[in-house]
A and B are shown apart, each in its own frame.
Chain A
Amino acid sequence: MELMVYLVPLFPLLGFLLNGIFRKSLSKSMIGIIGCGSVLASFIVSCILFIDIKSGGALQVQPLFQFINLPSVKVDFAFQADQLSSLFLLIITGVGFLIHVYSTSYMHEENENHFARYFSYLNLFVFSMLLLVLGANYVIMFMGWEGVGLCSYLLIGYWYKNDNYNYAANKAFIMNRIGDAAFLLGVFWVFSKLGTSNYADVFANTSKFSTAEITGITILFLIGATGKSAQIPLYTWLPDAMAGPTPVSALIHAATMVTAGIYMVARSNALYSLSPVSENLVAIIGIATALLAATIAIKQNDIKKVLAYSTVSQLGYMFLGLGVGAYTGAVFHVMTHAFFKALLFLGAGSVIHALNQQDMRYMGGLKKYMPVTHITFLAACLAISGIPPFSGFFSKDEILAAAYSANPVYWALGVLGAGLTAFYMFRLYATTFLGEFRGTEEQKHHLHESPIAITLPLLILAILSVIGGFINVPAVLGGSSEMHHFLSPVLLKEKSVELNHSTEFILMGVSAGVSVIAILIALFRYSKKPELGEPQGLGKVLANKWYIDELYDAVVVSPLSALGSFFKNVIEKSGVDGLVNGVGTFIQYSSRRLRLVQNGKVGTYILLMVFSIVVLWLAFWNQTTITEFFQKIF
């Protein structure tokens, strides 16, 4: 039992090594078994751990070995399996496992070598994420943090022969690195102050920080989180990350990677709660991202892009929850979001698999052809839109209630965002599944429901998306907020929401009502005649993502690359290269000149001889002066 927590990340690591090392000799079915089996094994261990922790046996910090051992800095390679991390373990390994199973079918057309590469990356991804949530100090967390960044790079650029995909992978990596740098600075700050980064020690010694220091640290952490969790200003990588295979998108968006920022802020709740400035900043960034991404999602035509922006938007909600102190609500939303977003991506993958087409304008009417995909997708859409009693309703409502008690403006904007979410999700649903099929005849001929390895994960995730919310029913609806009680030992600084029941009912009613109206509008507008043309006016701005990418390009990328080419063309070419080449040219030139001295004339030789003798003679007589001179120089 004691060491069991180490088994959780160990299995995916083994899977990564096996698939990676033997990728040329393993058969596809073997690769699939290793890939899925390792995650399944760690899922089983996670379940046992979870049950153990739930029954009160919270395992505390488990040091494995000393990672860094210096007189001033000691870092243990230690894992901490508590309530928060065990919940994340379940999400990561559970949803991760379903995505692995799905991948065996989705990626089946790849040849063995690439198939194994894919699964080894996938396992490494899960391993890094497990490391991130299990670490008992910020250093281990940072290792996982970097690991998921690396794996996202590898997987987004999985089809590395396409340059655009490589650019998307670079973008994701660089954006993440910006955030990582800030996070690392925050960790150093904690280290320099306390000499340790163990959660327990840091959170017990928050009184040693001044408020300004806590604000600085938490803002640095927040910048890290905005990189990893795709918030303003570092969110642009996530929509581009669609370049990877669809299950990878599901993995990035649901089980791993983007939840890292949420986890980190929730884990650091003891710090954030001490800095109102940071808390407000988190909430403002969250709500702004939620709205911005939602508006962009309305006009996207690529099915995966819509989902990507919806993830950004939902992550914004989670940040809002974190910012207003509803840590449980945020974690709860991470969980329900993992279910329905994985389902949405896998459903979209199923559609893409059937059609070889990502543009929704060439879809339509798939309800008839893909019944399982359709019904599960519908469930996910309802869940993300926050329709009771689907899971998204409970989690979103909890965040919105907390937002209301913190500041009604947050709530109003949140409801607006929820309405937008419902609208674009049902625009997607209507355009894809309703109406007439708009693809080619050949595509229509090949339309089919996906195989069992694809539909089974969809069904499981659909069930979870429907009932997932019931584990944390609020008191007002007759529940007992089980998750609150479960997480309360970790999320000590949770702000309790003081609302009377009638207010809470009204809030729920309003947000659900807004969503229903938005759904009806979307269905009414798009089920019969979807938008096929190019958008005009404001729609064009939205379709072009508010031109944020162009803005970043103009403000950051272009000046940097201009500076880069200045350094390359001017400083390096004429400066550094000039110096290096200059030495060579000088030697060559001077030796060409000096060679002329050897002209075969005896007189010259003798003259030089005499001259040299005179010089040596002078040097001999002045040797003390010369020695002193050299001693002065060196």
Chain B
Amino acid sequence: MPIQYYIILAAAIFCIGVTGVLVRRNAIIIFMSIELMLNAVNLLLVAFSKMHYAVASAATKNMEVNTGTDAQLFVFFIMVVAAAEVSVGLAIIVMMYRNVRSIDVNFLNRLKN
């Protein structure tokens, strides 16, 4: 399958994520949108790593090729960091809900007082 499809899909998911973050006020939805963006990037990384692997192994016959494995490592990193982030973020949201009885982010503009 051509790489363009992956890129267009990832870009679309990323844009949906950005839009979600920008337009929604519900903290959980914003979190989900951030996850969308992260996964769009993951998808791209995986797609490119596979492409590079294919190109490299086509160029060098009968030899072991490691090209593209770095990107997959990155993907795992991102997933781990995202999981950690979600746990912290959700904790914050729970605390927020307890305090203001809402998870609307616009309620959080009172920090200055």
Contact = CB atoms under 8 A, between A and B. Distances in A.
A602 B25 CA distance: 9
Contacts of A602: 105-106, 108-109
A601 interface: yes
A603 B25 contact: yes
B21 interface: yes
Interface in A572-621: 599-603, 606-607, 610
B22 A599 contact: no
B111 interface: yes
B22 A601 contact: no
A600 B108 contact: yes
Interface in B6-35: 18, 21-22, 25
A168 B49 CA distance: 94
Given A602-B105, A603-B105, A610 B110 contact: no
Contacts of B25: 603
A606 B21 CA distance: 8
Interface string B81-113: 000000000000000000000000110111110
A601 B106 CA distance: 6
A600 B22 contact: no
B109 A599 contact: yes
Contacts of A599: 109
Q: How large is the interface on A (under 10, 10 to 19, 20 to 34, 35 or more residues)?
A: under 10
B18 A600 contact: no
Nearest to B104: A602
B108 A610 contact: no
B40 to A, nearest CB: 15
Nearest to B24: A603
A600 B21 contact: no
Contacts of B105: 601-603
Nearest to B111: A600
B14 to A, nearest CB: 11
- Among A599, A603, A607: residue with most chain B CB under 10 A: A603
- Chain A CB within 10 Å — which of B22, B108, B111, B112 has the most? B22
B106 A603 contact: yes
Contacts of B108: 600, 602
A599 B108 CA distance: 11
Nearest to A601: B109
A21 to B, nearest CB: 65
B47 to A, nearest CB: 21
A168 B101 CA distance: 85
Nearest to A600: B109
Nearest to B18: A610
A610 B22 contact: yes
A224 B70 CA distance: 90
Given A600-B111, A600-B112, A606 B22 contact: yes
Most buried by B among A600, A601, A602, A610: A602
Contacts of B109: 599-602
A603 B23 CA distance: 8
A594 B112 CA distance: 17
B28 to A, nearest CB: 14
A606 B25 CA distance: 12
A602 B107 CA distance: 9
A599 B109 CA distance: 7
A601 B107 CA distance: 8
Nearest to B113: A600
A610 B106 CA distance: 18
Contacts of A610: 18, 22
A153 B108 CA distance: 75
Contacts of B21: 606
A606 B110 CA distance: 17
Contacts of B112: 600
Interface string A376-391: 0000000000000000
A603 B108 CA distance: 11
Nearest to B109: A600
Contacts of A601: 105-106, 109
Contacts of A607: 22
Nearest to A610: B18
Nearest to A613: B18
A599 B111 CA distance: 10
Contacts of B111: 600
Interface in B29-84: none
Contacts of B18: 610
Interface in A475-526: none
A446 to B, nearest CB: 84
B44 to A, nearest CB: 16
A616 to B, nearest CB: 15
A607 B21 CA distance: 9
A601 B25 CA distance: 10
Contacts of A603: 22, 25, 105-106
Contacts of B110: 600
A606 B18 CA distance: 9
A601 B110 CA distance: 9
A610 B20 CA distance: 12
A607 B108 CA distance: 16
B77 to A, nearest CB: 21
Interface in A79-134: none
A602 B18 CA distance: 14
A221 B69 CA distance: 94
A232 B73 CA distance: 99
A407 B39 CA distance: 113
A610 B111 CA distance: 23
22 contacts: A599-B109, A600-B108, A600-B109, A600-B110, A600-B111, A600-B112, A601-B105, A601-B106, A601-B109, A602-B105, A602-B106, A602-B108, A602-B109, A603-B22, A603-B25, A603-B105, A603-B106, A606-B21, A606-B22, A607-B22, A610-B18, A610-B22
Given A603-B106, A610-B18, A610-B22, 8 more contacts: A599-B109, A600-B110, A601-B105, A602-B105, A602-B108, A602-B109, A603-B105, A606-B22
**Across the A-B interface, the 9 shortest Cβ-Cβ residue pairs:** A600-B109, A602-B105, A601-B109, A606-B21, A601-B106, A607-B22, A600-B112, A606-B22, A610-B18
